[in-house]
Structure formats: structure tokens, C-alpha cells
Structure 1
Amino acid sequence: MPENPVDKHPRPDFPEQDQQHPGWTGPMDPPPDHGEDSYEGSGLLRDRKALVTGGDSGIGRAVALAYAREGADVLFTYLPEEEQDAAETARLVEEAGRKAVAAVCDIREEEQCRRLVQRAVDEFGRIDILVNNAAYQMSQPDGIAAISTEQFDRVVRTNLYGMFWLSKMALPHMPSGGSIINTTSVQAYKPSPHLLDYAMTKGAIVTFTQGLAQMVAADGIRVNAVAPGPVWTPLIPATLPDTAEFGKQSPLGRPAQPAEMAPAFVFLASPRASFITAEILNATGGIPLP
């Protein structure tokens, strides 16, 4: 029987919860669903080599799991504080019978990005799929006056510099048929005032995606992005002051679970999307976008 998407996953109100950045999966209530018990692969990415940033939890973990079950080996990044979550992602990838490489990397640093790409090449010989997913946000309900230069710099360097460097560095190691997939957001089109700097970067990711796609199309490399709406990840209790009603504003009345984002990343990386490039796949739970 078809499942009603309104009732498929937990709906707010959720228990109030607060975490320090970067946030962890374990304390979240309800626990996020990454597809552990539901995602079934069909060989769409057999023997592909993927690099996924921010793969320890949230959307990144769901993508790593789905890619592995579709037949890909996965190198993913995490921050030192996220080691426990990273170990679980690695376990899920290996449980699917694929190679998992967990790499500590702060993508705000150019040299760390360079070493990351080289490690992926050393481990796999090439990079077939690059998923620029890692991101930083911090709510500032008091507006632009409360956004410090330190915060602004962290948001921009994480969300834009890292994506730029990794794309630039990975492209020489990507064969024809390769794919870059960036994570943008509904915030790119409908910015929340308390996430001004974050929303700005997500708009820039849309432009970068569409421009780079045209630049590398002749090389047989596709560049697309996924624009999620509200998704229940550790970033939410770690960066937003009120989690009880998170996702309630979507027409489906709830946030997405990370597992609901993964199929979009699989599709865009797969041969089934061979004529799709420079596109933004919106997965917003019904929030209309331009």
C-alpha cells in the first residue's frame, strides 16, 4: 500500500533540545532516520568512487549509506568532535560490502581540501562523484547586527570556499561521466532573516552549480544541486533556538528525515540522470520555489 507522506515520519511538536555545535545524532529526539532499515539499493552506482563532505551524520550519512548500498565506495569527511558519528557511518558503508574511508577535514582550510582530494585519489584511483554537503549555520534572531565577522567568515568559508576548492581540485581526477552534487537549500529562495548569512551562501551555491555545469559539460561531467527544505539533522538542535515546531511550516507539516533526501543524490549521480546538468532538485516538502 502507498504510504501517506504526511504521516510517514514523526511530526512536531518535538521535545525541546539543545546541543553545542556541531551536534550529534545520539541525543536527538526523535532519532533521525538515515535509511538504515529502509534504503534498498539496485546497483545504480556499482564500483563508483564517491567523496562526500559532512558524511558523519544527517544528509551526508544518508547519502553515504545509499551510495554504498548502490555499490559505491565512499570517502567522507567529519570534524574531530564527530568521531563517534563518523564511526557509525563507516560501519553502515562497510556493512553494505563497500570500502569506507573516514577523513577528518576542516574544509575551511585550502590545504586540508588539497590533502583530502589526494587521499581520495590514493584510496580509490579516481573520484567519480563529489558531494559538497558540509555546511555551517548559526541562528541570529537579533538580526545582522548580531552576526559577527567571525561567524560570517565561518559560514562563507565552510559553505562556499570548501565547495569551490574541492570542486576545483577534484575535477582533474574525475573521468567523463563524473558528477558533482552540491547541497543548497530552500533558504536560497526563501531566506529566513535569522539565517541571513547562511541563506546568502545557499543562493551562491545555486549560481555556482549552474555556472560550473556549463563550464565542464563538454568534458562529460554533470553538476547539479539538491535544495532541501527543513531536514531533521544534528545541525538543527545545535544551531536553532527553538526545535519544538521545526518543520511544522512545510505543507506536509513535518521536517524531512535524511533518508528522504538520499534518493535525490543517488538519482543525480546515476546514469539515469545522464541528460540532467545545471539543475536544482527541490525537495522542500511542498514549499513552492521559483
Structure 2
Amino acid sequence: MKPSETTQEEKRHPKEGRPKPPFSELPQEFPGREEKMKVRPDHREQSYPGHGRLIGKTALITGGDSGIGRAVAIAFAREGADVVISYLPEEEADAQETKHWIEEAGQKGMSLAGDIREERQCQALVEKTLTEQGRLDILVNNAPGPVWTPLIPSTTPPEKTKKFGANTPYERPGQPVEIAPLYVFLASEESSYVTGEVFGATGGRSPA
């Protein structure tokens, strides 16, 4: 889907229409693989509408292979940005799927493996992006939260995974697609008068 194309998604009550516990996921080794999940996260691969809000921009997204990072990468590409994603080597299959969706949107996609806990890897990511893309406009330091991603079955005990999200007012975990539009807003000119703010996408729970 290209930036000029739009779709009308049916409105729904926030408690309904998305996966809710109990979940029956099998434990995975860190960092987890999306293709092994019984309940796959929702990134709106088929339906996110682009509006050209990031045309001409280049974005670098850490952890862009799956989960929140994949949803943001797809949204950015549909909005007209070229997208570079970083990921751990063991996430290669997920990373290539994300790259496919970036290119499906008609944008340049680049995937770079490495461990960003190492400073030299962070420097290499930026340098490679600038060399290959010629610019870097948007940096997303992606981190997990109360959202349904492969990190949940790979870092959470099975008994907690089964009930994941049940203690929120929505009685379910967030989906990556519910987080991505906030990233688009912050990366676009629509947030030109926003600085130093903390936004909570927490399913109704007040940030501690």
C-alpha cells in the first residue's frame, strides 16, 4: 500500500476485537521469533493507510524486525519514508519479513544485524545508514512495553504469559499497531510544537 492509498478500518470498542488472555504460547529462547507465536502480533501489514507525512525522510529503527519496531517500520514506509532496521542476528527471518513490507510500500528498506549494547555497533549503524541512504532524519530507539510481541514468550514465565495484559483496564495487551501511530505523529511535522513530553500508550494504566 502506497502513501496515497487509504482504507477505512471498522471502529471497535477498545476492549473488543483484539486478542485477550488466556494465551497458550509456548516458551521461546530470547529474543523470540514472531513466526513461532500462536497468536501473531497485529502490525496492520495489509491495512495501514499512508498519508505522505514522512515523504523524503529516512528513519533508523532499532529492534525493527518484529513487534513494535515492525509496526513502526511499516507505518513509516506507508507514510513515504525509507527505513533502516537493526536487529539481532538470530532475528534474521523476522527482519527480512519486515524489509519485505517496507519495500512493498515502494520505499527503500535496509536491514542491519548487530548488538546495539555495543557502542561501536551503534556507531556503525549510523555510519552505514548515512553512507547508503545519504541522510538520517528520524531515529527510533525502540524498547518493549506492555505490548504483545515475541519478547513476551521469550522473557516471561509461562504462567505470566498466559495472563499477559489481563490487569489493564482493557483486560488485554496492547498490539504493535496501536503504538505505531504515535511514532508517526512524533516523527512528522504535526508534532512541531511538542518537546520534552512523555506519552503513555498503556491501555488505561497510569504510568508509575
Instruction: Provide the TM-score with structure 1 as the length reference.
Output: 0.66
Counterpart in the other structure of 1:121: 130
Q: Output the amino acid matched with 2:118.
A: E
Q: Output the amino acid matched with 2:163.
A: E
Counterpart in the other structure of 2:47: 38
Counterpart in the other structure of 2:151: 235
Q: Output the amino acid matched with 1:232.
A: W
**Matched residue count:** 197
Seen in structure 2, the aligned counterparts of structure 1 residues 289 and 120 have a Cα distance that, compared at 3 Å, is same
Counterpart in the other structure of 2:90: 81
* Structure 2 alignment gaps of length 5 or more: 1-9
Cα drift, residue 8 of structure 1: 2.5
Provide the C-alpha distance between the structure 1 equivalents of 2:112 and 2:17, rounded to a whole number of angstroms: 33
Matched, 1:98 2:107: yes
Matched, 1:244 2:162: yes
Cα drift, residue 124 of structure 1: 1.6
Provide the C-alpha distance between the structure 2 equivalents of 1:134 and 1:250, rounded to a whole number of angstroms: 20
Deviation readout 1:42-69 (Å, 9 max, x if unpaired)? 0011111000000000000000000000
Seen in structure 2, the aligned counterparts of structure 1 residues 112 and 289 have a Cα distance that, compared at 3 Å, is closer
Query: Do 2:165 and 2:173's aligned partners in 1 also have CA atoms closer than 8 Å?
Result: yes
Cα drift, residue 266 of structure 1: 0.4
Q: Output the amino acid matched with 1:130.
A: L
Counterpart in the other structure of 2:172: 254
SS of equivalent to 1:51: strand
Cα drift, residue 134 of structure 1: 4.8
Provide the C-alpha distance between the structure 1 equivalents of 2:180 and 2:199, rounded to a whole number of angstroms: 12
Runs (4+) of structure 1 exceeding 6 A deviation are: none
Q: Output the amino acid matched with 1:29.
A: K
Counterpart in the other structure of 1:271: 189
Q: Which structure would you say has the larger RCO, counting Cα contacts within 8 Å and 6 or more residues apart?
A: 2
Q: Output the amino acid matched with 2:120.
A: E
Matched, 1:27 2:31: no
Cα drift, residue 4 of structure 1: 0.8
Cα drift, residue 34 of structure 1: 1.0
Percent identical pairs in the alignment equals 54
Q: Map 1:1-290 to 2 at 5 A.
A: 2-134=11-143, 228=145, 230-242=146-158, 243-289=161-207
Q: Output the amino acid matched with 2:206.
A: P
SS of equivalent to 2:177: helix
Provide the C-alpha distance between the structure 1 equivalents of 2:105 and 2:173, rounded to a whole number of angstroms: 27
* Structure 1 alignment gaps of length 5 or more: 136-227
Counterpart in the other structure of 2:6: none
Provide the C-alpha distance between the structure 1 equivalents of 2:11 and 2:98, rounded to a whole number of angstroms: 29
Seen in structure 2, the aligned counterparts of structure 1 residues 66 and 253 have a Cα distance that, compared at 3 Å, is same
Provide the C-alpha distance between the structure 2 equivalents of 1:27 and 1:83, rounded to a whole number of angstroms: 14
Task: Looking at secondary structure, tell me which structure has more helix per residue.
Answer: 1
Seen in structure 2, the aligned counterparts of structure 1 residues 34 and 2 have a Cα distance that, compared at 3 Å, is closer
Seen in structure 2, the aligned counterparts of structure 1 residues 287 and 134 have a Cα distance that, compared at 3 Å, is closer
Q: Rg bigger for which structure?
A: 1
Instruction: Provide the TM-score with structure 2 as the length reference.
Output: 0.91
Provide the C-alpha distance between the structure 2 equivalents of 1:16 and 1:47, rounded to a whole number of angstroms: 40
Provide the C-alpha distance between the structure 1 equivalents of 2:86 and 2:61, rounded to a whole number of angstroms: 7
Provide the C-alpha distance between the structure 1 equivalents of 2:201 and 2:143, rounded to a whole number of angstroms: 18
SS of equivalent to 1:26: helix
Provide the C-alpha distance between the structure 2 equivalents of 1:2 and 1:78, rounded to a whole number of angstroms: 33
- CA RMSD in angstroms comes to 1.2
Q: Output the amino acid matched with 1:238.
A: S
Q: Output the amino acid matched with 2:85.
A: F
